[in-house]
Amino acid sequence: MALAAHCQRRAGAGRPAASSPRPLPAVAPRPVVLAAAAAAAAAPAAPSSSSVPASKLIDGKGIADTIRSEIAAEVAAMKAETGLTPGLAVVLVGARKDSETYVRSKKKACAEVGFDSFGTDLPADVSEEELLKHISEKRILDAISIDKDVDGFHPLNIGCLAMRGRDPLFVPCTPKGCIELLERLHVPIAGRKACVIGRSNIVGMPAALLLQRRDATVTMVHSKTPDAARICAEADIVIAACGVTEMVKGEWIKPGAVVIDVGINAKDDPTAKKGYRLVGDVDFEAAGARASLITPVPGGVGPMTIAMLLQNTLESARRAAQGIKAPAH
Ligand code: NAP
C-alpha cells in the first residue's frame, strides 16, 4: 500500500516564498498489507507472436510513459517554484515476490519523475502471519489520512466516488488507469453499455462507479452471476478483473467492443524461459479478433496503475503545497 509523504522542503531549494505553506511531516510508516497486483509494470506493448493487429492494441505502456513525462515536468516546475518535492511512502508487509516487485517498480517510478520515496524495513524474524495477528486491513485503511490516501481505498474516498454530487480526493489507481486509457483514446463512454467482470474493492467496484459517473449503463458480473457470457456479449466496453486465467472467451465479446483486461495471471508455458508467461483474464487472441481495441497483458493496464499512483501523489503534494486540507466529514 502506498500513501503520500507530502512535500519535503529542501534546504536552499526554490524561493523562500512567504506564501509557501508550512512543510508537512512525512508520514510515519504503518504496517499494512500490500495488494498483490501489477507485477508487470514494465513490459512490451504486445505479445510478440500475436495475430491481433497492432491497430487494435491499446499501448498502456506508451500512454503511461507519456503521463510520467507530464508528471516529471510538473514536478520540476513545482520544485523550482516552491522548493517542495512530492514524496511517496510505500509500506510492505511480508515477503511476497510479486509485492516486492511492485514496490521496486513504485520506487523506480518515483525516482524517474523526481519524487522522494520512503519504505519500511521490517525485521527479518517477523513473519507475515505474526504481524497479521496484530493488524487488520480495515483498521489500517481507516487510519490513513484521507489527504494522503493516494491508493484511493479509504472508505471516505470510496463513499464520495459512489455518491452523486461528491468528488473523492483520490480514485483507486487501477480503475482510474482503465478510464484514463479509454479517455485518452477517445472511446465514447456516455450512453454505452459497459460490463465490469469482478466486484473487488480495489478494481471492479470502483471501475463500475467510474463508468457510471461517466453515464455508461453498467452491469457488474461476479462469481455468482448466471450467464456472464450473455451479459458480457451485450457490452460496448468490457473491463475484466476477475483474476481467472483467460476466462473471457472470444464469443463473450460483442464485435467492435473495447476490452480492458486488468488480470495478471501466470500461465504454464514450457517454451518460456521461466516456464510460464503472464496472461490476462481475457483470451487475448480470440477476444482481439472481435474487439475494436484491446489491452495486452502485460503492457496494458499494469503500467497505468503506477502512472496513476504517481498522478495521485502529485495531486496530494499540490494540495499540501497550497495548504488545502480535506474538509471534515
Ligand atoms: P479479487 O479481489 O480476487 O476479486 C475478483 C473478483 O472477480 C471478485 O469480485 C469475484 O467475484 C470475481 N470472480 C471470480 N471468479 C469469477 C468468475 N468465475 N466469474 C465472474 N466473476 C468472478 O481480484 P482483484 O484484486 O480485483 O484483481 C483482479 C485481477 O486483476 C487479478 O488478476 C489481479 O492480479 C489483477 N490486478 C491487476 C492490476 C494491474 O495493475 N494490472 C491491479 C490490481 C489487480 P465475488 O465477488 O463473487 O467473489
Domain annotation for the chain: domains and CATH numbers = 2-59+82-314 (3.40.50.720)
Torsion, CA 301, CA 304, CA 309, CA 313, rounded to 10: -160
Whether 224 is in the pocket of ligand 1, judged by its Cβ within 6 Å, is yes
**Closest atom of ligand 1 to CA, residue 280:** 32
What pLDDT score was predicted for residue 47? 63
**Closest atom of ligand 1 to CA, residue 203:** 26
* 257 contacts 238 by C-beta, under 8 angstroms: yes
What pLDDT score was predicted for residue 30? 26
Per-residue pLDDT of the chain (329 residues; tens, 9 = 90+): 677 765 444 433 333 333 333 332 232 222 222 222 333 333 445 566 789 999 999 999 999 999 999 999 999 999 999 999 999 988 776 666 667 777 888 899 999 999 999 876 555 566 666 655 556 667 666 667 888 999 999 999 999 999 999 999 999 999 999 999 999 999 999 999 999 999 999 999 999 999 999 999 999 999 999 999 999 999 999 999 999 999 999 999 999 999 999 999 999 999 999 999 999 999 999 999 999 999 999 999 999 999 999 999 999 999 988 888 777 55
Which position has the grid cell 524561493? 15
Whether 264 is in the pocket of ligand 1, judged by its Cβ within 6 Å, is yes
What pLDDT score was predicted for residue 140? 67
What pLDDT score was predicted for residue 291? 98
Whether 221 is in the pocket of ligand 1, judged by its Cβ within 6 Å, is yes
Q: Whose CA is nearest to atom 30 of ligand 1?
A: 263
* CA 262 – ligand 1 centroid, Å: 8
Whether 240 is in the pocket of ligand 1, judged by its Cβ within 6 Å, is no
Whether 300 is in the pocket of ligand 1, judged by its Cβ within 6 Å, is no
Whether 308 is in the pocket of ligand 1, judged by its Cβ within 6 Å, is no
Whether 201 is in the pocket of ligand 1, judged by its Cβ within 6 Å, is no
CA–CA separation, 172 vs 175, rounded Å? 6
CA–CA separation, 170 vs 152, rounded Å? 5
Per DSSP, the three-state class of 134 is helix
**Any residues with CB less than 8 A from the CB of 204 and at least 6 apart, and which?**
196, 197, 198, 220, 222, 239, 241, 242
**Closest atom of ligand 1 to CA, residue 297:** 41
CA–CA separation, 99 vs 104, rounded Å? 9
What pLDDT score was predicted for residue 292? 98
Whether 228 is in the pocket of ligand 1, judged by its Cβ within 6 Å, is yes
- pTM score, two decimals? 0.85
